[in-house]
Amino acid sequence: MRTAYNEKLAALSEELAEMSQMAGEAMKKATTALLEGDLDLAEEVISSDTKIDALRSQAEEQAFGLLALQAPVAGDLRSVIAAIHSAGDLERMGDLALHVAKAARRRHPAKVLPEDVAPYFAEMGRVALDLAQDARQVILTRDVELAFTMESDDDAMDDLHRHLFTLLLSKDWPSGVAPAIDVTLLGRFYERFADHAVAVARRVVFMVTGKMPNTPEA
């Protein structure tokens, strides 16, 4: 009985890890579509989003099944609850990559980004992919130290996002209102992607230790 239960928990973790991998790859492709005006790549991201949605439904169904049929307690209960919340975060990461791809498609054949901000989005795409890959590793290994190191990458994403606003608010911004709106929205998509990846890592810390990071002692 216990062996079967552990196998189901392991299968659930594998599904979450696959979602993280897919979300990272989606954001990588969406970033390339954004920077290069690649319509085919944007369409690929858009059409593949349903696969991440389906995995979330599947993961939640399995998690609720474990709650209903096994009545887990203590660490097992934390694992199931964390998995349910993580599935939502991971699906949202996929949705944010979808938004980036849709922006690239909407402006095609023109490129969305002014040349002076394109390098920032290239770097934000790199950080987003790193975070998704780290989240996958944390899910599979329950590596608490790696989970904590993800905070520094999230800080790097926040710094990039803040610097974008510095450029947008500068009196020397040369590109007009419409590109400024695009840059503002797109920057927010990348920032939120990073936040959701870190949220997944924090839930793994909760699963392992019983406490969410930054939670004060009682």
The verdict on residue 196 lying in a domain is yes
61-66 mean pLDDT: 90
Find the distance separating the first CA and the last CA of the chain, reported in whole Å: 35
Q: What CA–CA distance (Å, rounded) separates 163 from 198?
A: 21
User: Which pLDDT does position 218 carry in this prediction?
Assistant: 35
The residue segments making up the domain with residue 160 are 2-209
pLDDT band at 100, cuts 50/70/90? very high
Which sign does the torsion angle of CA 90, 95, 99, 100 carry?
Answer: positive
Tell me if 27 sits within 8 A of 97, measured CB to CB. Answer: yes
Q: What is the model's pLDDT at position 1?
A: 56
pLDDT of residue 216: 42
Domain count of the fold of the chain: 1
Residue 3 has pLDDT above 90, yes or no: no
pLDDT of residue 2: 65
State the Cα–Cα distance between residues 8 and 63, nearest whole angstrom: 9
Residue at 15 is within a domain:
yes
Give the pLDDT of residue 118: 95
Cβ neighbours, 10 Å, residue 201: 27
Tell me what the pLDDT averaged over the chain comes to.
92
Tens digit of each residue's pLDDT (9 = 90 or more) over 109-163: 988 999 999 999 999 999 999 999 999 999 999 999 999 999 999 999 999 999 9
In a domain, 218, yes or no: no
> Are the beta carbons of 91 and 56 closer than 8 angstroms?
yes
Asked whether residue 214 is domain-assigned, the answer is no
Q: Is 118 exposed, middle or buried (0-12, 13-18, 19+ CB in 10 A)?
A: middle
- 215 in a domain, yes or no? no
Taking 50 as the threshold, does the pLDDT of residue 35 lie above it? yes
The dihedral of CA 117, 123, 125, 127: what is its sign? negative
Query: Residue 216 domain-assigned?
Result: no
CATH number, domain with residue 16:
1.20.58.220
d(CA 67, CA 74): 12
Domain membership of residue 66 (yes or no) is yes
- Is pLDDT of 217 > 60? no
* Rounded Cα–Cα distance for residues 8 and 101 (Å): 34
